[in-house]
Amino acid sequence: MGAAPFPVPTGSLLALGALLFCIGLFGALTKRNLIIVLVSIELMLNAANINLVTFSRLGVAPSLSGQVFSLFTMTVAAAEIAVGLALLLALFRLRKTSEVKDLNIHKW
């Protein structure tokens, strides 16, 4: 395998993951459009993937466990986006809007 041609410090990768997670959390909590909320959740999952791969590099014997968990997280994220977009299309056909505040199920 060999060493990486340009090793990135662990602190920089963790800071990148934290920054991406904070941006995703801000978007998920403040935006009104459901598509933006789904993209923000995807950004938070990608930040978690960066942290998983970063922590798998640490230790006496670096392992692939973080990369395997990251692969499972990507699979869950793809399924989440597919289900979320299907629900969004169904609600858009019913309500003619994709705003989060207008998607109250009890209101017809």
Closest by alpha carbon to 100, among 42, 47, 40, 28?
28
In the structure encoding, which two tokens stand for residue 19, read together?
A: 């920054």
Q: What is the pLDDT of residues 59-87, one digit of tens each?
A: 777 788 888 889 998 998 899 889 988 98
Could you tell me which residues are beta bridge partners of residue 33?
99
Is the domain covering 11-97 a CATH 3.30.1200.10 domain?
Answer: no
pLDDT at 55 over 60: yes
Give the residue extent of every domain in the chain: 11-97
Q: What b/e sequence results for 97-108 when a residue is b if at least 16 CB atoms lie within 10 Å of its CB, and e otherwise?
A: ebeeeebeeeee
Assess contact for 53 and 69: CB atoms under 8 A: no
Report the mean per-residue pLDDT for the chain.
Answer: 85
Measured at the CA of 94, the angle between CA 93 and CA 99, to 5 degrees, comes to 85
Coil vs helix vs strand at 50: helix
